[in-house]
């Protein structure tokens, strides 16, 4: 059904889509390539929510050459009026002859309607080319559309014997500077960074993206976006004097009841959520974030909150930095989990990547 050239051009579109991974949230990353007479005449990718979609940029570059051309796009062209006009209509108006989409858009506002619009206009359509690669571009967007939850990545740092801190709580620094810089790249791609009140208080954590530690190529004219910082504070322990609140970027605090005893900065929003055993429901927190357009959550927390997320099967992927150090059995562990007495009941993961980052090793594993 698809030729070698089709694969070649779709691969280019996928690489273009990756350029928007720091800026497009809550929209998906999308790339588009327009080809005529085996020559690329237009390239584009979605750069910013509310800005032109990938197809628009590619069509602008192609101009009159789009007539009779083939458009390769990593996600089905949209068919509805949102903040921008429908891309399917733009392709029709430009006179393209064929449209190849890597996958159908799961957004209910599209969900096949874009391809149907193109077909009704007499344009040849196809989809499913490099779909796995296209889905990997937008794991969070797809999970939010299909399951109503964001994609959660749990970041951990530990010694080789699996300890996150000394018994007295000291943890700076287990990993080296290159590993810590690497974390900034992941933070910058995430829609939200989530942790618990304990981590904020003990570490006086800011949970921001430090631009001086990022080597990120942004679209022209765009600045580095700070993810939403999300704190689960079931016992109202946070206070406005913490370093977290000295950086003016959006903060959401999930609580069992609102704290009206402090004057909070204007960028802080308190949300009261249902409880589980007197604590904020982690699943309810994720659902609330998904309802707000949060596609991906970067979980950086202590062993207790990480253990709750793991036990409730709310983590999709683990990114663990292992340092060549030994702390000993009295050190603090990665997770607080209930005792498991049978091997068949342990949490099974699948390793997807192992990369050396400076002196440390980054291990990535997804849940099965």
Catalytic residues, which ones?
Answer: 55
How many Å apart are CA 238 and CA 251, to the nearest integer? 12
Instruction: Say whether 255 counts as a known binding-site residue.
Output: no
Whether residue 149 contacts residue 296, with contact meaning beta carbons closer than 8 Å, is answered with no
Residues 190 and 192: their CA atoms lie apart, in Å, by 5
Q: How far apart are CA 278 and CA 128, in angstroms?
A: 46
> How big is the chain, counted in residues?
368
Q: Is 87 annotated as a binding residue?
A: yes
Please provide residue 96's backbone torsions phi and psi, each rounded to the nearest 5 degrees. -65, 150
DSSP-derived secondary structure for 327-349: --TTSEES-------SGGGSPPE
79 assigned to a ligand binding site: no
Is 157 annotated in a binding site? The answer is: yes
Rounded Cα–Cα distance for residues 28 and 46 (Å): 8
Measured in whole angstroms, the distance separating CA 101 from the mean position of its chain's CA atoms is: 22
Has 283 been labeled as part of a binding site? Answer: no
- Mapping DSSP onto H, E and C, the string for 298-312 reads EECCCHHHHHHHHHC
Tokens of 168: 């007295």
Residue 300 marked as a ligand binder: yes
The CA distance from 61 to 254, in Å, is 46
| Burial of residue 263, with CB atoms counted within 10 A of its CB: 0-12 exposed, 13-18 middle, 19 or more buried | exposed
53 annotated to a ligand binding site: yes
Residues 127 and 103 sit within 8 Å (Cβ to Cβ): yes
Integer Cα distance of 262 and 260 in angstroms? 6
Q: Are 187 and 193 in contact (CB under 8 A)?
A: yes
| Pair of tokens at residue 336 | 């607080």
- Alpha-carbon gap, residue 18 to 25, rounded angstroms: 13
173 preceded by cis ω (within 30°)?
yes
Please indicate if the annotation marks 187 as binding a ligand.
yes
- Coil, strand, or helix at residue 20? helix
191 belongs to an annotated ligand binding site: no
Instruction: Indicate the annotated binding residues for NADP(+).
Output: 157, 173, 199, 234
Instruction: Indicate the annotated binding residues for substrate.
Output: 171, 187, 203, 207, 210, 300
Instruction: Indicate the annotated binding residues for Zn(2+).
Output: 53, 78, 87
Instruction: Indicate the annotated binding residues.
Output: 53, 78, 87, 157, 171, 173, 187, 199, 203, 207, 210, 234, 300
């Amino acid at each position: 059904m698809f030729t070698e050239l089709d694969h070649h051009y779709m691969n280019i579109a996928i690489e273009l889509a990756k350029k928007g991974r720091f800026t497009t949230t809550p929209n998906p990353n999308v790339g588009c390539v327009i080809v005529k007479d085996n020559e690329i005449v237009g390239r584009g990718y979605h750069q910013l929510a509310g800005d032109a979609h990938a197809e628009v940029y590619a069509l602008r570059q192609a101009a009159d050459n789009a007539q009779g051309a083939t458009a390769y796009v990593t996600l089905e062209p949209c068919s509805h009026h949102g903040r921008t006009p429908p891309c399917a209509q733009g392709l029709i108006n430009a006179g393209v002859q064929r449209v190849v989409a890597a996958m159908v858009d799961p957004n209910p506002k599209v969900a096949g309607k874009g391809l149907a619009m193109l077909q009704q206009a007499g344009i040849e359509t196809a989809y499913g080319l490099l779909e796995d690669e296209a889905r990997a571009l937008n794991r969070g967007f797809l999970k939010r559309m299909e399951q109503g939850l964001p994609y959660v990545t749990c970041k951990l740092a530990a010694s080789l014997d699996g300890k996150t801190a000394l018994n007295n709580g000291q943890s700076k620094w287990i990993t080296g500077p290159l590993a810590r810089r690497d974390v900034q790249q992941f933070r910058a791609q995430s829609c939200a960074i989530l942790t618990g009140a304990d981590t904020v208080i003990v570490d006086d954590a800011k949970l921001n993206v430090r631009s001086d530690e990022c080597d990120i190529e942004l679209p022209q004219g765009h600045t580095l976006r700070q993810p939403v910082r999300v704190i689960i504070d079931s016992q109202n322990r946070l206070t406005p004097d913490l370093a977290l609140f000295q950086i003016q970027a959006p903060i959401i605090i999930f609580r069992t009841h609102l704290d009206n005893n402090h004057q909070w900065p204007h960028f802080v929003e308190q949300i009261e959520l249902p409880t589980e055993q007197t604590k904020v429901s982690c699943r309810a927190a994720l659902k609330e974030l998904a309802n707000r357009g949060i596609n991906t959550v970067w979980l950086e927390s202590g062993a207790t909150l990480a253990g709750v997320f793991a036990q409730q099967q709310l983590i999709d992927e683990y990114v663990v930095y292992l340092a060549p150090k030994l702390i000993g059995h009295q050190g603090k562990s990665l997770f607080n989990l209930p005792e498991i007495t049978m091997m068949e009941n342990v949490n099974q993961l699948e390793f997807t990547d192992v990369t050396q980052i400076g002196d440390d090793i980054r291990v990535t594993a997804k849940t099965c």
